[in-house]
A and B are shown apart, each in its own frame.
Chain A
Amino acid sequence: MAHDAHAHADGDHGHHIIPMPVLLKTFGGLIFLTILTVLTATQLDLGAFNVPLALAIACGKATLVIMFFMGLKYDNRVNTLTLVLGILFVLIFISFTLFDTAFRGDIGNVDTIPQEDRTRMEETLQQRDPGRAGLATSPADSLALEQNPLEETPAPAEEPAPETTEPEAAH
């Protein structure tokens, strides 16, 4: 390991001095990529590829900073391992959260009856009771019907209510 060679260099501790031209070129590359990302984001419309392109350029800039400014290219491997493990956990964090949130569907729907059954019940009710008053299967439904009456007879919501339980019981 290069580490052992350093330990023997008494006095001169043997830290790698990153040459000035490397630092200046890194800075130049970073400025170039900044201009590139601004131009591609404002002048080009790649549709679905806008975000991946901007992220790819950002990752390129991050790599330059990490390798040359932070000196990881010349450093102990254990520091690279630390960083890679950290990035791994960030990726797990993002991807597993998206597994949930991106495929969650209608989170506000807490109905115990499956949506298909609910639709079928509504259709049956609609056929039997075109006035829609019988659709009030819960207090919230009655409220919604009162606030948004689609028919002329809003009042008798209570009367047909027992009928609505019938299709459920019939199953």
Chain B
Amino acid sequence: MASTTTTAAPAVEHGHGDGHAHHPRFQHHFVSMEQQFDSAKLGMWLFLITEILLFSGMFVAYTVYRVWHPEVFEVASEALNPFLGGLNTVVLLASSLTVALSIHFVQKDQIQKMNWMLLLTVLCAAIFMVVKYFEYTAKFEHGLYAGEAFHPHAGYEQFNIPYARQFFSIYFVMTGIHGVHVLIGMGMFTWLYTRGLRGHFSSEWYTPVELSGLYWHIVDLIWIFLFPLMYLI
């Protein structure tokens, strides 16, 4: 292997000589680019587990309160609009596809297509947040708030029942924290897009795209469970 010649200067900024053996992104404490990539990916998976555990706390809260008051949750979930929820599901699934395609294209060195896919992902995320904005304001107009401020009125009096407040608190906290994740994702993919334009990525090295993609799919996964639990059943 070429490893005998790499021992001289394996630092990050060096090794332009033969691009394959010393990629500028290659860090000296890894054996190979492959190992470096796999380590980063394992680290990302560990982070994603902490994300899953974060949301699982809220899913447990949902489960406990639903087991305690199943009939209240069924009535309260009728306040949510399944069409808008379904639309957002499709939008998020589409953005997951564009993320997967952006990785597909960068692996084939089709950088321009990758950039388009990253831009489409940001667009889908923005559509998701706009829909969410209209959903939230429609709830607020009728006094469907989280916690103490909860006072349904103006045609929503049927939700003024004991324990309905718990459903809406859980709804706003869960979808709110999920929405924060979508906003963070929008920032990440905008950043990736600008880096793509600057030619930072190639099939040799695209770790940020891969890891951000994994993050985005987890955000999608959370919504896959939130949608039926909140809007449908």
Q: Which residues of A does B touch, CB under 8 Å? A: 3, 6-7, 10-15, 17-18, 20, 23-24, 26-27, 30-31, 34, 37-38, 41-42, 50-51, 54-55, 57-58, 61-62, 65-66, 68-70, 75-76, 78-79, 82-83, 85-87, 89-90, 93-94, 97-98, 101-102
Q: Which of these, A17, A54, A86, contacts B233 with CB under 8 Å?
A: A54
Q: Across the interface, do B90 and A79 meet the contact criterion of CB distance under 8 Å?
A: no
A20-B104, A31-B90, A101-B68 known; A65 and B34 CB under 8 Å? Answer: no
Q: Across the interface, do B217 and A65 meet the contact criterion of CB distance under 8 Å?
A: yes
Q: Across the interface, do B104 and A98 meet the contact criterion of CB distance under 8 Å?
A: no
Question: C-beta contact mask, B71-93 vs A, less than 8 Å → 1, else 0?
Answer: 00000000000100010011001
Residues of B within 8 A of A7 (CB): 31-32, 34-35
Residues of A within 8 A of B45 (CB): 79, 82-83
**Closest residue on chain A to residue B65 by CB atoms:** A101
Q: Across the interface, do B204 and A37 meet the contact criterion of CB distance under 8 Å?
A: no
Q: Across the interface, do B52 and A86 meet the contact criterion of CB distance under 8 Å?
A: yes
Is B107 part of the binding interface, using a Cβ–Cβ cutoff of 8 Å?
A: yes
Q: Which of these, B41, B67, B94, B229, contacts A27 with CB under 8 Å?
A: B94
Q: Which residues of B does A touch, CB under 8 Å? A: 1-2, 19-21, 31-35, 37-38, 41-42, 45-46, 48-49, 52-53, 56-57, 59-60, 63-64, 67-68, 82, 86, 89-90, 93-94, 96-97, 99-101, 103-104, 107-108, 203-204, 213-214, 217, 220-221, 224-225, 227-229, 232-233
Residues of A within 8 A of B228 (CB): 37, 41, 54-55, 57-58
Residues of A within 8 A of B48 (CB): 83, 86
Residues of B within 8 A of A66 (CB): 217, 221
Q: Across the interface, do B33 and A13 meet the contact criterion of CB distance under 8 Å?
A: yes
* Beyond A7-B35, A69-B220, A90-B56, 7 additional pairs, beta carbon < 8 A: A10-B2, A10-B20, A41-B82, A54-B228, A58-B224, A69-B97, A86-B52
- Sorted from nearest, which 10 A-B pairs have the closest CB atoms? A41-B232, A86-B49, A11-B20, A54-B228, A90-B56, A27-B97, A17-B107, A82-B45, A69-B100, A101-B64
Q: Which of these, A30, A41, A76, A82, contacts B49 with CB under 8 Å?
A: A82
Q: Across the interface, do A54 and B232 meet the contact criterion of CB distance under 8 Å?
A: yes
Residues of B within 8 A of A69 (CB): 96-97, 99-100, 213, 217, 220
Determine the distance from Cα of A87 to Cα of B51 in the docked complex, in whole angstroms.
12
Q: Which of these, B31, B86, B204, B220, contacts A65 with CB under 8 Å?
A: B220
Q: Which of these, A10, A54, A90, A98, contacts B52 with CB under 8 Å?
A: A90
**Closest residue on chain A to residue B2 by CB atoms:** A10
**Closest residue on chain A to residue B64 by CB atoms:** A101
Q: Which of these, B21, B37, B49, contacts A83 with CB under 8 Å?
A: B49
Q: Across the interface, do B225 and A86 meet the contact criterion of CB distance under 8 Å?
A: no
**Closest residue on chain B to residue A82 by CB atoms:** B45
Q: Across the interface, do A15 and B233 meet the contact criterion of CB distance under 8 Å?
A: no
